[in-house]
Amino acid sequence: MNPIQLSIFANRLSGICDEMGAVLRLSALSPNIKDRLDFSCAIFDAQGRLCAQAAHIPVHLGSMAYAMADLVSNREWTPGDLLVVNDPYLGGTHLPDVTVVAPVYAADSALIGFAVTRAHHANIGAHSPGSMPVSTHLTQEGLVIAPTLLKAAGQWQIPLCRRLAGLEALPGADSPPMENLRFGDFAAQASACETGARRLAEMAATQAGIGQGFDALNAYGEKRARARIAALPDGQYHFTDVMDDDGQGQQDITISVTLRIEGDSASLDFTGTADQVAGNINCPLSVAAAAAYYCFRCLMDDDVPACDGLFRPISLSAPPGSLLNAHRPAAVAAGNVETSSRVVDVVLGALAQAAPEAVPAASQGTMNNVAMGASGEQGWDYYETMAGGAGAHAGGAGLSAVHTHMTNTLNTPIESLEAHYPLRVLEYRIRHGSGGAGVFCGGDGLVRELEFLAEAQVTLLTDRRRSAPWGLAGGKNGAVGENRHNGRLLPSKTGFAARVGDRLLVASPGGGGYYDTKYK
């Protein structure tokens, strides 16, 4: 393909991903998907290599890019199949993130690729409402779905559908059927995948040699990535940061990276990172890879296509059994959201030594996970991540009240939150002064206070409540976050029972500041 043809090809693929996202958003029932947009859509080639994605959730897309080849290889596919999986140790992230995969066939029945969606389900059957418990074992976090056909040759697999709808218990399980599940969200994912599969098949019918197009796109992405890495000075760069705690008593848990730039390639070695812990901030290597890939993607120009080729010059390793390469059945619910955020901080901290003008100070470094609900016939499940401050940079101040780095969702609108749940929003404002000082100030966090109109079980999985987001070039640190129940300060990771009239306040961290006139 010449450059113009390649650009058109890439944008047509991206347009398919955007349409998949629109179908999923408009078909889903839960506020977490239709209002917060906690989902991602992508196209892969027949070998499971990423070829296009919409501008959705970095931790979803990077982990899929890392693990999809293993997921789709050595499997007999049939037109009309839909595969569903959420197992974190088989290419997933954490159990609420459910992936649906549709194979795509050309008119001659040749397998040409896959249309894939990943969406966060607020109820996946965990031991606490919202399916983000303060857990110590994977099975406490909900239903583990090994790669299984949701549809076979176009036919819904009814026993699995009934389990996903909460109508039947799992075979051999002592627990009753899971309550309040919304099968409509699984059906929405299926519709989005089938839409993507149809569009890609239509494109293949008018685009000669679509497989060659995929190869050309990834070769171009690799070329652009190598050129950007080659512009960085060769060397070895080290950075260390900590997680506040694991929710089980262990504090100041180290994440460390050594970045090596050699010519047009980069390697990241996470040796020195803490061993896996009792709490749920562990993560599979695919999540660490997603965070690392994201950091390098941010160094590249906007016109670089998001594809597998971008990641070929980047290698990474983490010791087996460590926080970033945990062994089954370690709990991982917060690893996907909180630990991935800290991996971004340490990789950017290392990159800042190689390219100080291109890297911002630390952003809030947490997703401020709030999960709650109640069981029973009138049960409900609510889950949300909350925005905070972005780090300042050489070009200006950080943004305030935004989702940063590995999360790219929205805050639930007050109108939707109060319409769907027995909650009242008492306060929702920018947390002025929480951004770190500097010539360019870090962005400010948010304050949100809720009043409970019904009893609920609440879980908080947050971080940066002890260790502050760091500034760069002499800029000051951002403010740490706070969680309060009826005014009482809470730990960063905790669960509690709320009564009618109780109040929950979450104040998110600010971003780090950039540059001090006294800094040399």
Instruction: Give pLDDT, residue 169.
Output: 58
Instruction: Give pLDDT, residue 179.
Output: 47
* 307 domain residue, yes or no: no
Spatial strand order in the sheet of 82-85: 50-53, 39-45, 111-120, 97-105, 82-85, 148-152, 155-156
Mean pLDDT of 467-483: 97
Please identify, among 187, 205, 221, the residue that sits at the C-terminal boundary of a domain: 221
Spacing of C-alpha 322 from chain mean position? 20
* 512 domain residue, yes or no: yes
Least confident of 159-168, 259-268, 401-410: 159-168
Range of 265-274, 400-409, 509-518 with top mean pLDDT: 265-274
pLDDT of 173 over the 50 cut:
no
Q: Record the tokens describing residue 344, joined without a space.
A: 């971004």
Q: How confident is the model at residue 408 (pLDDT cuts 50, 70, 90)?
A: confident
* 403 domain residue, yes or no: yes
Q: How confident is the model at residue 48 (pLDDT cuts 50, 70, 90)?
A: very high
Instruction: Give pLDDT, residue 61.
Output: 66
* 287 domain residue, yes or no: no
Annotate 86-117 with three-state secondary structure.
CCHHHCCCCCCEEEEEEEEECCCCCEEEEEEE
Please identify, among 195, 221, 247, the residue that sits at the C-terminal boundary of a domain: 221
Q: How confident is the model at residue 172 (pLDDT cuts 50, 70, 90)?
A: very low
Q: Where do runs of H (alpha helix) occur along 81-237?
A: 158-164, 183-206, 210-230
* 324 domain residue, yes or no: no
Beta carbons within 10 angstroms of residue 237's beta carbon: 21
pLDDT of 439 over the 90 cut:
yes
Nearest partner of 245 among 287, 290, 273, 278, judged by Cα: 278
Instruction: Give pLDDT, residue 471.
Output: 97
* 201 domain residue, yes or no: yes
pLDDT of 335 over the 60 cut:
yes
* 27 domain residue, yes or no: yes
Which tens digit of pLDDT belongs to each residue from 126-135?
989 999 999 9
Domain count, the chain: 2
DSSP class per residue in 400-469: SSB--TT----PPPHHHHHHHSSEEEEEEEEETT-SPPSSBPPPPEEEEEEEESS-EEEEEE---SSSPP
Structural contact between residues 84 and 186, judged by C-beta atoms closer than 8 angstroms: yes
pLDDT of 99 over the 50 cut:
yes
- Domain of residue 18 covers 3-221
Mean pLDDT of 237-251: 98
Which tens digit of pLDDT belongs to each residue from 180-222?
456 889 999 999 999 999 999 999 999 888 999 999 999 999 9
Mean pLDDT of 465-487: 97
Residue 518 vs residue 333, higher pLDDT: 333
Q: How confident is the model at residue 73 (pLDDT cuts 50, 70, 90)?
A: confident
pLDDT of 479 over the 90 cut:
yes
Which tens digit of pLDDT belongs to each residue from 374-406?
987 778 999 999 999 999 999 999 999 999 998
Instruction: Give pLDDT, residue 27.
Output: 94
Which tens digit of pLDDT belongs to each residue from 321-333?
999 999 999 999 9
Instruction: Give pLDDT, residue 444.
Output: 98
Query: 271 CB contacts (<8 Å, ≥6 apart)?
Result: 256, 258, 317, 318, 319
Please identify, among 180, 205, 221, the residue that sits at the C-terminal boundary of a domain: 221
Mean pLDDT of 417-445: 97
pLDDT of 168 over the 80 cut:
no
Instruction: Give pLDDT, residue 174.
Output: 43
Nearest partner of 254 among 246, 262, 264, judged by Cα: 246
d(CA 270, CA 91): 20
pLDDT of 224 over the 70 cut:
yes
Nearest partner of 13 among 186, 218, 191, judged by Cα: 218
Q: Which residues pair with 261 in a beta bridge?
A: 235, 266
**Percentage of the chain surpassing pLDDT 70?**
95
* 106 domain residue, yes or no: yes
